Structure 1
Amino acid sequence: MYSDLKIVTGSANPDLAKAICDHLGCQLTPTLATTFSDGELRIEIGDNVRGDDVFVVQPTCSPNVNRNLVQLCLMLDALKRASAGRITAVIPYYGYARQDRKVSPRAPISAKTVADFISVSGADRVVTIDLHAGQIQGFFNCPVDNLYAAPVMLEPLRQIANDNIVIVSPDAGGVERARSYAKRLNAPLAIVDKRRDKPNQAQAMHVIGDVEGKSAIIVDDIIDTAGTLCAAADVLLKYGATEIIACATHPVMSGPAIDRINATESLKRVIVTDTIPLGDKKDRCPKIQVVSVAALMAKTIHNIHTGSSVSVLFV
């Protein structure tokens, strides 16, 4: 058995880490995370962690994915060298997950490289939420718990659920995810046929399934530039949907995303989680509703620490 439970965080999403601590009834372990004048990162754990069960909460997200990734690796290394009993990397949003295979000659498999960084730095276990590609779990040589945000996302959706809704996958790759939501909400499923010509550029073509006269709920894992989302909303409107709501676990919201969502009149609401901090983006877009995964992550951390089952949370 390990000694005390310790929660460590960097600068990526400290609010989520504090919320997790509130649910666990503990305090954040003080950590120095600053930058030297030449841009190098400085990390120092401010408390004794020898023999402790330490969880590092650090999404590798924007606005500086690479800095947050290096911060995570340096914190893992610092804890390993401080003789922590077990080190778990809690990565609510796993950056580089969309680069999980070679899509062109002489291209890296970046998701695998990042997994190697994290493993070599000292992670004994990894916890994440809604990996873009589930097979990324196999890139690690340690246990990986890929949680689902569905239990959290379904709460606001059940408030609007009725006999006249349809769950929509914005592309063929998200059908399994959308089907799980449709099953839980006892709703039919539709798919938007999407053609992508270039990265971050998508054109929705037509809808497979019946959406006419229904409230359409688009389910996705990531909203990046919102091109796919807004194109899907527009095509659903053309096919007769009366109301369009979107939900996605990870609000990357890069580039023109906020402007696109605001300009898409057919899109009435966008429900996201706090795996990535939105900052002032939420104020700039009144359509966004944020639900927290803090309680889900706190339960996971508690179960791992106490040796209880984590699979009970995969509902």
Structure 2
Amino acid sequence: AIDAEDADGETHLRLPCNVRLRDTYVVACLGGAGVNRFFVELSLIVSGLRRASAARITAVLPYYAYGRQARKHTSRVPISAADVASLLEEMGVDGVLTLDLHKEEIAGFFSPRCHFASASCQPAAARYLHTQRQLRRPVVVAPHASGVTLAKAFFDSLAELHARRRGFRDCTRRCEAMPAWIIRHLELIGEVRGQDAIIVDDIIDSGKTIARCSEALLEAGAARVFAVATHGIFSEESLRIIAVSDVTTVVVANLGP
């Protein structure tokens, strides 16, 4: 829908077809260094759809921008994730579809008039590693305590795929009390020696967490290290940091622009 840009960066927009009384879906990736510019472009597209009498507008946002700012940790700061929700509704968005929220409470920032749904890429990522990488005695790793829920979802998907493999059933029994292995301040809780370790997180931004965790896992005796993340933001030097690390494979479902 972007028709042209002025020399000063202002965007001209024109919808290429008639959208009157139609259900419309706007797919936008609001990640990376240009997040604020892309957010303005999204608002202009939604405005154009609303003014062109679209029946319903759904924003498909694989990455929910500002999702890491969902709480007020100190004084005189905004709760940016809630403000984004308010802005989307004020734009005229009728619904939002996204993937693996950084904070589950974000769903509560939307009013009942705006339908909201968050899907997960964990089953697809587990299926890819299961079929393409010939995992040996896999163990799932959460790089921080807040990532246990996501790691558990990946673990359940992988356990279902490996249900007939004796080695993984043993791993399942060991993990019943603790659903995922956790790294806290580079101290490993659990045993990974001789196993394929899979680090599961929702975002790879700087790449430093993946690099540090992979080093700690290999020092603890892990055979190989894989990394799975829903959102590959890959800011600044992140790709170089990951490339020189000992991670065997990095799997992401969504790349920033």
Q: TM-score range by the shorter chain?
A: 0.7 to 0.9
Alignment RMSD (CA, Å):
1.5
Q: Give ranges in structure 1 of 5+ residues lacking alignment.
A: 1-30, 195-204, 278-315
Letter in structure 1 aligned against 2:98: T
| Matched residue, 2:218 | 237
**Displaced runs of 4+ in structure 1, greater than 3 A?**
160-163
Tell me, yes or no, if the aligned pair for 2:194 and 2:222 is still in contact at 8 Å: yes
Q: What is the CA-CA distance between 1:163 and the residue it aligns to? A: 5.6
1:68 matched residue in structure 2: 38
The residue that corresponds to 2:73 in the other structure is 103
In the alignment, what sits opposite 1:294?
none
Report Cα offsets for 1:39-94 as digits up to 9, x if no partner: 22222212111100000011111231111111111111111111100100111111
Paired residue for 2:199?
Answer: 218
CA displacement 1:262-293 (0-9 Å, x = unmatched): 111x211111123434xxxxxxxxxxxxxxxx
Partner of 1:300: none
Per-residue CA deviation, residues 169-223 of structure 1 (Å, 9 max, x unaligned), is 11101001101111222254311113xxxxxxxxxx2111111111100011100
Change (3 A) 1:239 1:124: same
- State how far apart, in whole Å, the 1-side matches of 2:146 and 2:67 are: 14
Residues 1:42 and 2:15 aligned together = no
| Counterpart code for 1:267 | V
Q: 2:153 aligns with which of 156, 160, 180?
A: 180
Which of 217, 229, 233 does residue 248 from structure 1 map onto? 229
Please state how far the C-alpha of 1:162 moved relative to its aligned partner.
Answer: 4.5
Question: Does the 8 Å contact 1:32/1:46 carry over to 2?
Answer: no
Q: Distance in 1 between matches of 2:148 and 2:235?
A: 24
Contact 1:250 1:275 (C-alpha < 8 Å) held by counterparts: yes
Partner in structure 1 of residue 116 of structure 2: 144
Amino acid at match of 1:166: V
Q: Please list, as runs of the form range in 1=range in 2, the aligned pairs for 1:20-39 lying within 5 A after superposition.
A: 31-39=1-9
1:231 deviation in Å? 0.8
Q: 1:95-118: CA deviations, max 9, x gaps? A: 111111112221111111111111
Question: Counterpart amino acid of 1:40?
Answer: E
CA–CA distance in structure 2, aligned partners of residues 37 and 115 of structure 1 = 31
The 1:242–1:180 alpha-carbon spacing in structure 2 relative to 1, beyond 3 Å, is same
- 1:273 aligned residue: 253
Please give the secondary structure, in 2, of the residue aligned with 1:76.
helix
Distance 1:57 1:73, change over 3 A: same
SS of the residue corresponding to residue 156 of structure 1 reads helix
**Given residue 106 of structure 1, which amino acid in structure 2 is its aligned partner?**
R
| Pairwise CA distance, 1:37 | 2.1
Distance 1:126 1:231, change over 3 A: same
SS of equivalent to 1:166: strand
Given the alignment, which residue of 46, 51, 62 partners 1:92? 62
Matches within 5 A, 1:113-124: 113-124=83-94
With normalisation by structure 2, the TM-score equals 0.87
What letter is aligned with 2:188? V
